[in-house]
Amino acid sequence: MTGSTPGTPRTLEDVDGWFGRPDQRLFTWFLERQDRLDQRGDLLELGTYLGRSAVLIGRHVRADERLTVCDLFGSPAPDEANDREVTRCYPGLTRADFERTYLAFHDRPPVVVQAPTSVISDYLRPGRCRFAHVDASHLYEHMAADLAVARSALAPEGIVVCDGHRAVHAPGAAAAVWTALDSGGLRPICATPSKLYGTWGDPDAVRDELLAFLAGADDLVHETCRIAEYDVPFLRARDEEPDGLSAEDAAEVRDAVQRAVTAEVAAGRAVEHAEAAEQRAEELAEVAAAAEIEAAQTIGRAVKAEERAERAEELATAEAARAAAAEERAAAAEERTATADTRIAAAEELAATAEERAAAADARAVAAEERAAAAEAEREALVRARTESETSLRQAAERTAEAEAEAKLQEEGRELAETALRAATEQHARLTSEAGRLRDNLDAARREVIRLKGQLRRTRMQLRAIRNSRSFRMGRALTATPRAMRRMTGGS
């Protein structure tokens, strides 16, 4: 779009719009040709905006012809998509703006239909048009309908100009144009970057004339493209780039392309970096995966080890419980052993005491025997003395006669001897009895010693049996096991 000039426009360049120089040249050529050929009929424009193309078309309207222009000029669009399109692309457009512009170039205004193009048929005489410019909505449905309207309005040799046949911003328009060419009977004559020129009549004659014209037009260049059975010249202004841009815009585009190429190179490098990084990431991912597998295996082994440790702990706990029980049994056995030892010691002490007592009794018996022997000896001595006394008495009695005084003395002596004998006899009896009693004691002591020795022997045998018993040995072993384990683990 060119910039609008404030005030009254004097040239088409002063009118805002998208109507470029090659199309201005072609519109003029087609309309002048119709003049030359005296082809008569009405002219139609669907989509006028501020009138840049309408002003040019208006130059070729004869007195008995009419130019009809149709535009919403800011009135409501028939559907939402169309509404979005006009709101975005043509904000603030008014019919008055168009009329002011148009009348700046022409005395006679066109027939203005401010309405959607869908109603334009009501204002046209079918088959009476010689030129139609379809440039309203670029949405597919609208464009297709507008082309159908143009077809019915145009005379057989009429020319239709379709905008947007390659518009990147409006693919719907391009689709509608190429559909009309493909299956709607439309035949191409030529094309510019913005518009395609065609007819539902015979395109060849007009194309040949056009090529002749182009051959002499220094400001236009073209190349021919084969489309279906047609050779279609695609033309542009010589000072425009092939895509219809001005040299200035093209330079800008080239800069943009250069920037894009630079950006693409940078992007390529970035992609290379990204790929290298990706590769590195993949390698790392592989390493991580291997590490993960290894970790999983390690964890598996650790879990198994843990399970084994748990089992070992359970076994150790059970073993410890058994050891504790064995220890308790060993302690009990030790206690019993200690008790037995105490009892053995007591028995041994008792035996020793008994032996001592037996020895003392023996000693006492020996002494008693000695005393008894002495008493016996004394008694025997006394018996002998009595015998001797009696002998003496007999001798004395024999000698009584011999000496009564002496007899008396002897009698006294005999009485004394008897007294002594009696005392000795008593003493002897007493000692004999004592000796018997001591002998009894000695016998009892000896029997006690024999009994205690027997008991001691039995106790020792029991003790040996206890010490040799399996449970005692196990108790000793189990008592030793925890101590050994503690020594091994260094634990408390």
Ligand X SMILES: C[S@@+](CC[C@H](N)C(=O)[O-])C[C@H]1O[C@@H](n2cnc3c(N)ncnc32)[C@H](O)[C@@H]1O
Q: Is residue 213 at the binding interface for ligand X, with CB under 6 A as the rule?
A: no
Sequence-separated (6 or more) residues with CB below 8 Å from residue 417: 382, 385, 386, 389
Selected binder of ligand X within 12, 24, 90, 420 (CB under 6 A) = 90
Residue 119 C-beta: closest distance to ligand X, Å: 9
Residue 164 C-beta: closest distance to ligand X, Å: 8
Residue 215 C-beta: closest distance to ligand X, Å: 27
Region binding ligand X by CB under 6 A among candidate stretches 85-93, 239-247, 263-271, 454-462: 85-93
Q: Is residue 19 at the binding interface for ligand X, with CB under 6 A as the rule?
A: yes
Q: Is 304 helix (H, G, I), strand (E, B) or coil?
A: helix
- Whats the size of the chain, residue-wise? 492
Q: Is residue 117 at the binding interface for ligand X, with CB under 6 A as the rule?
A: yes
Selected binder of ligand X within 29, 41, 105, 135 (CB under 6 A) = 135
Selected binder of ligand X within 31, 57, 129, 136 (CB under 6 A) = 136
Residue 142 C-beta: closest distance to ligand X, Å: 5
Maximum distance among all Cα pairs of the chain, rounded to whole angstroms = 237
Nearest to 47 by CA among 185, 171, 166, 149: 149
Residue 76 C-beta: closest distance to ligand X, Å: 10
What ranges make up the beta strands (E) of 92-204? 111-114, 129-134, 154-163, 187-191, 195-199
Selected binder of ligand X within 17, 58, 158, 198 (CB under 6 A) = 17
Selected binder of ligand X within 18, 123, 213, 230 (CB under 6 A) = 18
User: CA end-to-end span of the chain, whole Å?
Assistant: 97
Q: Is residue 158 at the binding interface for ligand X, with CB under 6 A as the rule?
A: no
* CB-nearer residue toward ligand X: 120 or 220: 120
Region binding ligand X by CB under 6 A among candidate stretches 24-32, 74-82, 335-343, 480-488: 74-82
Answer whether 45's CB lies under 8 Å from 21's CB: no
Residues contacting ligand X: total by CB under 6 A = 23
Q: For the range 440-447, what are the long-range contacts, defined as Cβ-Cβ under 8 Å and sequence gap of 24 or more?
A: 441/361, 441/364, 441/365, 442/358, 442/361, 442/362, 442/364, 442/365, 445/354, 445/357, 445/358, 445/361, 446/358
Residue 52 C-beta: closest distance to ligand X, Å: 4
Strands across the sheet containing 230-237: 111-114, 67-71, 42-46, 129-134, 154-163, 195-199, 187-191, 230-237, 220-227
Q: Is residue 105 at the binding interface for ligand X, with CB under 6 A as the rule?
A: no
- Positions touching ligand X (CB under 6 A) are 17-19, 47-49, 52-53, 70-72, 77-78, 82, 86, 90, 93, 116-117, 135-137, 142
